[in-house]
Amino acid sequence: MAEKIIIAIDGHSSCGKGTLARQVARALGYIFIDSGAMYRAVTLYLIRNQISLEEVEADPSILQNIRITFEMNPEGDFYNTHLNGENVESLIRNMEISKRVSEVSKVRVIREFLVHQQQELGKNKGVVMDGRDIGTVVFPNAELKIFMTAQPEVRAKRRYLEMLGKGLTADYDEILANILERDRIDSTREYGPLTHAKDAITLDNTDMTREQQASLAIGWAKGVIMSR
């Protein structure tokens, strides 16, 4: 049996990291972990409980009340995010969460809390995880690192169509502005900023279909696995 590896997929907001990670995980029989969903779930918890970021920084033990898990949907083709046992997958994808998640993810104690959880989830390998700092902070020794990007306008259009497809209210200009602001915050925050790991392969999917990007990444993964 081939030795399992860790695949870290980092990149800009709304460039399809989760989609690619799920495709690669499914092809390899690996576990998919959406780190961005974890930050969104924390954001939802804080909003619901009217807890400010200042309160979290003053008392990090607040975070111990948060339990995030991923469970496969009945169709067996998607992992839903659960917050303290509740399926919150659709709730964490709305614009209110999107507007606030980058500020939440800047808080060091929150990042440290989730990074620890992410490292535990990946300790047995056979994991595909996507996010902003997976290949640089969470799994700096990951056997395969992919850095994804695409033109902001393309990312905004994809996000817009995705939201419409889910029956959510969407405004293209608002989404584009949100993406540009998230890029700025993600790239400039003090702890765990979005950076291109030196040993990461760049995947610009501006002009790629989902099938094309999946074929490319799965090929890279199989190449790494076969070389071990």
SS3 of residue 146 by DSSP: strand
CATH of domain 6-222: 3.40.50.300
pTM: 0.84
Output Rg (C-alpha) for the chain, integer angstroms.
17
Check residues 216 and 14 and name the one with the higher pLDDT. 216
- Mean pLDDT for all residues in the chain: 92
Q: What percent of the chain has pLDDT over 70?
A: 99
pLDDT of residue 76: 63
Residues 101-133 have pLDDT tens digits of: 989 998 999 999 999 999 998 999 999 999 888
Residues 20-67 have pLDDT tens digits of: 999 999 999 998 888 889 999 999 999 999 999 999 999 999 999 999
Q: Which amino acid is at 70?
A: F
CA triple 172-216-145, angle to 5 deg: 85
pLDDT of residue 167: 87
Nearest-angstrom CA–CA distance, 173 and 175: 5
> Residue ranges of the domains in the chain?
6-222
Distances, alpha carbon 148 to alpha carbons 1, 4, 156, 195, in Å: 30, 22, 15, 11
DSSP conformation letters of 199-214: TPEEEE-TT--HHHHH
